[in-house]
Amino acid sequence: MRIVCFGPGPQFKGGLANYNTSLSKAFSEFDNSEVHIVSWTNQYPSIIPRDFIDRKSRYNAIKDTDIKVHYLTNYNNPFSWTKTAKLIKDINPDVAIFQWSIALQGLPLKYIVTWLKKHSNINIIFDLHFVVQKESSSLDKFFTKFALKHVPHFIVHSKKTYDELCDVLHNRQLNLVSEFDPKNKNSQVIHLYHPIYDMFKPNENFDVEAFKNELGLRKYVFLFFGFIRKYKGLHNAIKAFAELAKERNDVSLLIVGEAFWSTLDKKKWTTRAKKWIFNIAQSIFRKNTESEDNYRPLELITELGIQDKVVSVIEYVPNEEVYKYFQVSDAIVLFYEYATPSGVESMAYNFRIPIIATAVGHFPETIINGVNGYLADAHDIHSMAEAMNKIIKQPIDRTNIDKIAQEKSWYSYANAIVRNI
């Protein structure tokens, strides 16, 4: 069986690259499989002013596999789109799975898929991490519909995403299924929950208490982890924690992650030019969007007087050091303003850590109050603070999380896609 996983390759940062790599590894474990990652040369268009390459991790995600990686597709070069389509045709996979994350992918992916449908009989599936972003403009929605209109099959990670897809492609009949059937010529939407990342594992020999003391953490630790973006609601987490900290003196908020827009040298004229072009593009593609240049949630820590209870590690954490921050934590805080399936949520399951999240996006489908975490009102800081307090007063049974984690393996996920091929 030959499989192509199109999306960011393992050299890139972030959840999407980890996801595409993990999916490829799962396919590579099947007997007689040949797996190719066909990747963008840049994870996102070059006008986006940040560095997306993981320059810190020493961990080789595809070590001891036969996965072949092709960094070929350039957003800005239509000739590379043709080369990509021809490469996939030459590989002649039984299925090609494309990761969909932003509307700017619309033009190249539309071209590649149209070319493949014309020149091959390859099964094509788009894996949707979301359909349309909350603040999308009409132009953003146009490119989304333009790209997805003739895609035969999809994967969604929540019923909410399925509903959004039906809204965008309202003239098509989209059948929600639990596994892919190539004999079924109708458009299939495979509903599969985000699997557990196996590249992040607990270290049994790790001295949790020593690391807590090193960081100056108190008894109960709430972790915000990942890229610092406004939609991920770090400002909500800080405000809710400040309310909790008024009542308790035994709590810490641990903030670990890289400010999304701070990876390039702002003194360089190329960075300034990219920012200028990007801001223009954002104003066209987004509505009611304020620049994240002005998003400085960490300033709230001083304003709210909680400096002694907050520990911040504002840098990109290499994959091999991720376990440290999860193992010292009692809960993961995901107070998103809106949500796509969260890689941090997946990582939390791997460490058997409860999740506190706002009731947006897919979270109401995956987080059950009192079972694997607690949900809070996305517009109510007091509700978020109460959810944090519940973790302490009404602890989650970690065996519940263990059961959920066992159900969300990459093997089961991959098997649902290729079982009938």
| 337 three-class SS | coil
Question: What tokens appear for 287 in the block?
Answer: 């509505």
Q: Is 200 contained in some domain?
A: no
Q: Is 411 contained in some domain?
A: no
Residues 105 and 48 both lie in one domain: yes
Report whether pLDDT(23) > 70: yes
Q: 33 near 60, Cβ under 8 Å?
A: no
* pLDDT tens-digit map of 178-197: 889 888 878 899 998 888 87
pLDDT of 106 reads: 87
What average pLDDT score do residues 41-53 get?
Answer: 61
Residues 219 and 124 both lie in one domain: no
Cα-trace Rg, the chain: 21
Residues 314 and 341 both lie in one domain: yes
What CATH number is attached to the domain comprising 100? 3.40.50
pLDDT of 11 reads: 85
Strand order across the beta sheet in which 68-73 lies? 68-73, 34-40, 2-6, 95-100, 123-128, 153-156, 188-191, 175-177
**DSSP per-residue codes, 94-147:** SEEEEEE--GGGHHHHHHHHHHHHHH---EEEEEES-SS-TTB-HHHHHHHHHH
* pLDDT tens-digit map of 77-123: 999 999 999 999 999 999 999 999 888 788 999 999 999 999 999 99
Domain count, the chain: 2
Residues 6+ positions from 263 with CB-CB distance below 8 Å: 50, 51, 316
Residues 28 and 72 both lie in one domain: yes
Residues 374 and 255 both lie in one domain: yes
Residues 6+ positions from 112 with CB-CB distance below 8 Å: 6, 73, 81, 84, 85, 88, 98
pTM of this structure: 0.79
pLDDT of 49 reads: 47
The dihedrals phi and psi of 65, each to the nearest 5 degrees, come to -120, 165
396 vs 50, more confident:
396
Q: Is 163 contained in some domain?
A: yes
Q: Is 382 contained in some domain?
A: yes
Residues 174 and 263 both lie in one domain: no
pLDDT of 57 reads: 55
pLDDT of 58 reads: 55
Question: What tokens appear for 395 in the block?
Answer: 């602890």
Of 326-335, 362-371, 404-413, which one has max mean pLDDT?
A: 326-335
Residues 227 and 372 both lie in one domain: yes
Q: Is 99 contained in some domain?
A: yes
Report whether pLDDT(75) > 70: yes
Q: Is 197 contained in some domain?
A: no
Question: What tokens appear for 390 in the block?
Answer: 């519940």
Quote the domain boundaries for residue 49. Answer: 2-156+158-191
Report whether pLDDT(292) > 80: no
* pLDDT tens-digit map of 195-227: 887 778 899 999 999 999 999 999 999 999 998
Residues 6+ positions from 337 with CB-CB distance below 8 Å: 134, 230, 231, 232, 233, 236, 358, 360, 378
pLDDT of 270 reads: 59
pLDDT of 134 reads: 55
Mean predicted lDDT score pLDDT of the chain: 87
Choose among 204, 208, 177: nearest CA to 325: 208
Residues 275 and 385 both lie in one domain: yes
Instruction: Enter the DSSP assignment of 228.
Output: B
Report whether pLDDT(235) > 70: yes
Neighbour-count burial of 36, counting CB atoms closer than 10 A to its CB (0-12 exposed, 13-18 middle, 19+ buried): buried
Choose among 259, 218, 209: nearest CA to 241: 218
Residues 243 and 271 both lie in one domain: yes
Residues 58 and 185 both lie in one domain: yes
What average pLDDT score do residues 263-270 get?
Answer: 57
Q: How many residues does the chain have?
A: 421
For the beta carbon of residue 167, count every other beta carbon within 10 angstroms: 11
pLDDT band at 321 (very low <50, low <70, confident <90, very high): very high
pLDDT of 99 reads: 95
Q: Is 280 contained in some domain?
A: yes
The dihedrals phi and psi of 123, each to the nearest 5 degrees, come to -70, 125
pLDDT band at 362 (very low <50, low <70, confident <90, very high): confident
Residues 10 and 144 both lie in one domain: yes
Choose among 93, 97, 17: nearest CA to 57: 17
Report whether pLDDT(135) > 60: no
Residues 126 and 233 both lie in one domain: no
Q: Is 237 contained in some domain?
A: yes
141 vs 266, more confident:
141
What CATH number is attached to the domain comprising 228? 3.40.50.2000
Q: CA separation (Å) from 268 to 45, 50, 129, 382, 396?
A: 19, 12, 33, 43, 49
Q: CA-to-CA distance for 215 and 205, rounded, in angstroms?
A: 18
- Calculate what percentage of the chain has a pLDDT beyond 70: 85
SS (H, E, C) 282-307: HHHHECCCCCHHHCCCCHHHHHCCCH
